[in-house]
Structure 1
Amino acid sequence: MFKKYPNDVLAANDFNVKIRQGEFVYVIGPSGAGKSTFIKMMYREERPTSGEIKVNDYELQKIKNSEIPFLRRELGIVFQDFKLLPKLTIFENIAYALQVIEKDSETVTARVNYVLDLVGLKDKVNAFPNELSGGEQQRISIARAIANKPEVVIADEPTGNLDPDTAAGIMEILERINGEGTTVVMATHNSQIVDQYKHRVLEIEGGKIVRDQTEGGFFQDED
């Protein structure tokens, strides 16, 4: 699979990779390597120039724009900058993800309370995003991402702006989600996290996958 931008930058050069259900995969590499492009193609924010990319049962190079919302309903997407709706309470932010797929109010309330409990912020249900710390906002972002019980969670630098202790808390949540069978694909620059929480590592450099290592660390071991 290839992805070339109009300025002739080749962000994905002959990608050929399969991620299995239930895996936890880090996507690492220097800035501009193609990590974000890889992540964005998984939820059809970007589309490949040529080749095939399949997520769940969707062939992303073929689906119509009208089908993209249905794809994303099966995914949980966690952004570095949270993307919470500032004028909605925490309850309303998470509930919105369920209301758009027409869940009844009883189900919405139960699920919101469950995911808030999971991320340790049940007491913030009536707060607004600007009343929370960065780490708390990221926890809410994760809670929203998993509210609809997605098969795949895609996280783009979810610990990028957080201190080490807060980042560790975010990782514990992602580990727990993965332990329940959800696939997690996480782009990161954080070498400490990759080395501490051992999972498969995809390293991208210059638009190419230069390493695909099970239980790898941030830096490749040298013999």
Structure 2
Amino acid sequence: MKNHKKGEFILIEYKDVVKEYPNNTLASDHISLKINDGEFVYVVGPSGAGKSTFIKMMYHEEVPTSGHIQVNDHSLEKMKNSEVPRLRRELGIVFQDFKLLPRLTVFENVAYALQVIEKTPAEVKERVDRVLTLVGLEDKKDNFPDELSGGEQQRVAIARAIANKPSILIADEPTGNLDPETARGIMDILEKINQEKTTVVMATHNSFIVNEYKHRVIEIADGKIIRDQEEGDYIDESSNA
């Protein structure tokens, strides 16, 4: 399998990965691929295609039935539960539903990701201020999540995800609940993060985003990779997105 653009170091590798659920659903059907450092990769396909399972296996939320997954230096199929927190500290994960802590301010939500790994207060303040500036929310740091728009909440979630300078940012439908203009703003931020050498893997069904912001496209259908293309287009026939 060919290596792709950007860096030469393979950050993520799937080898013959199978994931079968107890109800006999085959969500991953012998998937193999490589993602290099510095890439921006879309994972596309209709609902039920296996996108979410593919993404969740990357951070050990789901475990493959068989096959090999390597993320950074971790072999995920052999990973013990006690080792999962170390893996996730090296990743940034952004969800469609934000998962912000409602009783913490914007600053505190982002700072929490650094406090759990015992950064000093000075380090926390410097890093939180920097990532809030990057996502354009420096003036909202004292607000609570319910005082923000959906797009602003997603930006907080992104700031929290990159606070610890992860090598890989995994975004699962980060623009799924947002209007097109707000979605563009989120994509502009993800582009900036990628330009700072963070590898971005983004699951989406949003044709508009994929076609406007050109990157590598991995298309999944029925648990199989049916296309792996540099800067490909995408038409989601099951949605008007």
Question: Among residues 162, 179, 189, which one is paired with 2:205 in the alignment?
Answer: 189
Asked whether 1:122 is paired with 2:138, we answer yes
* 1:74-102: CA deviation from partner (whole Å, max 9, x where unpaired): 00000000000011111111001001111
Alignment of 1:90-109 (within 5 A): 90-109=106-125
What's the CA shift string for 1:82-132, capped at 9, x where partnerless?
000011111111001001111000000010000000000001111110110
Tell me the secondary structure at the aligned position of residue 212 of structure 1: strand
Question: Deviating runs (4+, > 3 A) in structure 1?
Answer: none
Aligned to 2:10: none
Partner of 1:81: 97
Amino acid at match of 2:218: L
* Secondary structure, aligned partner of 2:34: coil
| 1:12 alignment partner, SS class | strand
What secondary structure, in the 3-state scheme, does the structure 1 residue paired with 2:119 have? Answer: coil
Matched, 1:113 2:118: no
Of 21, 25, 32, 2:37 maps to 21
**1:134 to 2:117 alignment:** no
Question: Of 60, 66, 77, which residue of structure 1 is paired with 2:82?
Answer: 66
Give TM-score scaled by structure 1 length: 0.98
In structure 2, the residue matched to 1:32 is 48
Match of 1:180 in 2: 196
Q: Does the residue aligned with 1:61 lie in a helix, a strand or coil?
A: helix
- Report the equivalent of 1:50: 66
Q: Which has the higher contact order (CA 8 A, sep 6+)?
A: 1
Alignment TM-score, normalising by the size of structure 2: 0.90
Which residue of structure 2 aligns with residue 216 of structure 1? 232
| Superposed displacement of residue 219, structure 1 | 3.8
Q: How far apart, CA to CA, are the structure 2 residues paired with 1:96 and 1:26?
A: 28
Distance 1:48 1:219 in 2: 29
1:2 alignment partner, one of 7, 18, 23: 18
Residue 145 (str. 1) matches residue 164 (str. 2): no
Q: Percent identity?
A: 71
Structure 1 Cα separation of the partners of residues 90 and 18 of structure 2: 24
Q: Which has the higher strand share?
A: 2
Mark the runs of 5 or more structure 2 residues left unpaired by the alignment. 1-16, 237-241
Q: Helix, strand or coil for the counterpart of 2:231?
A: strand
Alignment deviations for residues 156-202 of structure 1 (CA, whole Å, 9 cap, x no partner): 00000000000000000000100111000000011011001100000
Matched positions, count:
220
